[in-house]
DNA sequence: TCTTTATATGAATAAATATTCATATGAAGT
DNA sequence: ACTTCATATGAATATTTATTCATATAAAGA
């Protein structure tokens, strides 16, 4: 890992380390959609969705395209698919019960 | 992405979204080492290293083995290598200057 | 057993992030 | 130009997370 990668990783992981943003990405992995559609599906305020999409956009974890008044956000699958796959593998190999990594809960 | 994966991802990314933990992992990717060795290399207090290794251990992102009084921590390369690789790729493809994703800084 | 060394833990404080609410911007139609 | 709808932004507050310092535990040797 090159020195600068730590910085990039930090921004990247910080970006993903948020339940709202992960839930939004989960939806966007299914299909591109607008802010208000996301807000409706996730049952969150529009401003919250906007606030949370902003850093994802800044890191190109999502992209945007205008469609009339709407902004359609699209997940960057090229980046996200391998990462989610890696975590799925980790979960399978190292968190067999889905919560086994919570060692404090099963000592 | 299954429903529960969002939860696992959240724990996982939260774990990695920290400069101290990333720096520790960077070292542990090079070679396994003890808490005090990490503390020395990273120029941080021992308690801080311990505190930060704890959640990594809980999620099996690192493993531990005892060696006398020392605890030798080892990075889980099986999990970490593909993730770091994916982020390296993302950085190459979407952050060409290493900071291009900071769009506010080059508008 | 006493001492030393290595590590972990707890609790207080400090710092960073998220969330909310009010409001601004901006596109499209009337 | 005015209205409506979609989205973004700012600023205050709430919440989460990190850091520090003091102390506990635990292994090993004298």
**What tokens appear for B102 in the block?**
């900071």
CA gap A5, B42 in Å, rounded: 16
Crossing angle for the helix pair A3-16 and B3-16, to the nearest 10 degrees? 140
- In sequence order, the β-bridge partners of residue B70 are B67
pLDDT of residue B93 exceeding 90: yes
pLDDT grade for B103, boundaries at 50, 70 and 90: very low
SS3 B105: helix
Give the confidence band of B20 by pLDDT, cuts at 50, 70, 90.
Answer: very high
Q: What is the CA radius of gyration of chain B?
A: 16
Kindly report the pTM of this predicted structure.
0.91
Torsion A59-A60-A65-A70 (CA) sign: negative
Provide the residue-wise pLDDT of chain A in tens; the chain has 107 residues: 455 678 889 999 999 999 999 999 999 999 999 999 999 999 999 999 999 999 999 999 999 999 999 999 999 999 999 999 999 999 999 986 666 565 444 33
* A95 near B CB under 8 A: yes
* Contacting residues 63-102/B vs strand D (CB within 7 A): 66, 68-69
Q: Let me know if B48 is exposed, middle or buried by CB neighbors in 10 A (0-12, 13-18, 19+).
A: middle
Does A60 contact chain B (CB < 8 Å)?
Answer: yes
pLDDT tens-digit profile of B57-91?
999 999 999 999 999 999 999 999 999 999 999 99
Q: CA angle A31-A74-A59, nearest 5°?
A: 145
pLDDT at A69: 96
Query: B47 beta carbon < 7 A from strand D?
Result: yes
Instruction: Render A24-66 in DSSP notation, one character per residue.
Output: HHHHHHH--EEHHHHHHHHT--HHHHHHHHHHHHHTTSEEEEE
SS3 B66: strand
d(CA A63, CA A46): 18
Q: Find the Å distance, CA of residue A73 to C1' of nucleotide C25.
A: 19
pLDDT given at position B106: 38
Residue B105 has pLDDT above 60, yes or no: no
Q: How far apart are the first and last CA of chain B?
A: 34
Q: Which domains does chain B have, with CATH numbers?
A: 1-75 (1.10.10.10), 76-107 (no CATH)
Q: Which residues have CB under 8 Å from A18's CB, separation 6+? A: A52, B10, B13
In a mutagenesis test of the B interface, which of A25, A83, A105 is the best target, namely the one with the most B β-carbons within 10 Å?
Answer: A83
Q: Which residues contact A43 (CB under 8 A, 6 or more apart)?
A: none
């Amino acid at each position: 890992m090159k020195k600068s990668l730590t910085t990039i990783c930090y921004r990247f992981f910080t970006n993903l380390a948020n339940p709202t943003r992960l839930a939004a990405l989960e939806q966007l992995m299914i299909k591109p959609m607008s802010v208000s559609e996301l807000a409706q599906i996730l049952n969150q305020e529009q401003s919250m969705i906007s606030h949370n999409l902003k850093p994802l956009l800044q890191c190109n974890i999502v992209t945007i395209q205008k469609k009339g008044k709407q902004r359609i956000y699209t997940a960057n699958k090229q980046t996200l698919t391998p990462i989610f796959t890696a975590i799925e593998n980790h979960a399978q190999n190292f968190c067999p019960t889905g919560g086994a990594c919570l060692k404090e809960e099963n000592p």
